[in-house]
Structure formats: C-alpha cells, structure tokens
Amino acid sequence: MTGNLSSSHLNTKLKAALCALALTTLALNASCQSNGSRSSNDDARGIIVVNAPAAGEVRRVLVSEGVSVNEGATIVEIAVRNETPMITPSPGESAESRAARNFKAADAEIEAARAEVVRHQAEVERLTPLVASGDASQGQLDGERALYERAQQRLQHAQEAKRSAESGLLAARQPDQKQNNPASLAPREEIVAARATSAGTVSAVSVRVGDRVTVGQPLATLRADKP
C-alpha cells in the first residue's frame, strides 16, 4: 500500500514538472515571436521612400547609393512645365469677354486647388500618428505628403494665372494699351525638389536624369539613421 502511494505521489510530481516545462516553452516561443514581430516592424519603419512631389522631367539627381543625407536634403530635382490656362476664344467674341471668361476660369481653379490642399493636409495629419504607432506605413505618409505639396503648387499656379487673367481683363478694357503679352502666355519651367523626410543613408536610386516621373512615383530609398 505504501509503495502504491509513493508511486502515485511521484507520478503527480512528474506531471506537475512536465506542465511547468510546457508552460515555460510556450512563454519563450511567444516572447521570440513578439521580438521578431517588433524587429520586423522596426525594420519597416527604418525605410524612407522619397516620392516625386510633381510630374515632370528629372533634371538632377543629387545623391548616390551609400551617401548619408540630412533631413530635408534635396534628393532629386524635377523640372515642371506650367502654362497659363487660357480659354479658346469663340467666333466673334470680344477681347474683353474672352478676358472675363479667363478670369472666371482662373478663379474657379483657385477654389478647386484650395479644396485639394485642405483634403491632402487633413490626410497627412491623419496618417502622421498612425505611422508613429505602426498602423500605417511611411510610404503611405510620404505619398500623401507629395500629393499635398503638389496641391500647394497647383494653388500657387492658379493664383498666378488669376493675376495674369486680371491683367488681361484690364488691358482688354483699355484698347489703347497692348492687349497681348506673349511672354505671359509662354510655358514656364519650375524646378521642384524631392527631399528626404528624415536623415538616413541612400540605399537605392530608381531614376536618372531625363526620366519622366509622375506624382507620387518612388525616386529613391533611404535607410533611416538609428535614434
């Protein structure tokens, strides 16, 4: 009887030890998985994608692979051609009527551009904390920032077009002055810079001088400096 009790006691202790070992193994596996997940997230957050803030032609590439850059450094310069929007005159339309329509169209463009700026600004503000918490990618934020900058440029160009249209309207109302200014209607070239949003080391450059790029297109990839 004593032998049976002793054996039963040993079996109970053995089972308890095995259970403790299993629980310890599970805890270690969970810890490793958690650490691996954090490491993966940290790696993802350490990648910075520099996107094109505007559509145009790559004029200069100012970095190469392996080069360290500071936050705000220009990575690529893009040449953007802008033309003052003018309405095609209708047959028999007076210069003043045409100028008035140009002015009205420029005013409508300003309102549309301003609404676009507000929309993309709100999206940038929404994504910024999500990137910090790991719920959104840096690439998403960079892309939205590029769209926001492009919207700001659109608004600026619309405001310039309105000023030009206003000058044309005033000139049309004063026939003794020159009504046409070819220089004001000629295409203008603007250099737009794609900048690094954080300090880091360039790991890849995906464009060359002369390439045509679209808004939001990835231009280069950086590895962020460790804090």
How much of the chain, in percent, has pLDDT values that exceed 90?
A: 19
The pTM score is: 0.46
- What's the fold here for domain 50-79+191-227? OB fold (Dihydrolipoamide Acetyltransferase, E2P) (2.40.50)
Structural domain boundaries in the chain: 1-45, 50-79+191-227, 84-186
Amino acid identity, residue 193? Answer: A
Check residue 22 and give its pLDDT. Answer: 55
Quick one: pLDDT at residue 107? 84
Q: Which two tokens stand for residue 155?
A: 């608004």
**Beta-bridge partners for 188:** 82
Per-residue pLDDT at 86: 52
State pLDDT tens for residues 97-146. 777 887 888 888 888 888 988 998 999 899 999 988 988 888 888 888 88
For residue 90, what is the DSSP state?
Answer: P
Which has the closest alpha carbon to 192: 69, 62, 59, 88? 59
pLDDT band at 89 (very low <50, low <70, confident <90, very high): low
Chain segment 59-74, per-residue pLDDT in tens: 999 999 999 999 889 9
- Residue-wise pLDDT for 18-69, tens only, equals 555 555 555 445 444 444 433 334 344 578 889 888 888 999 999 999 999 9
165 CB neighbour count, 10 Å cutoff: 25
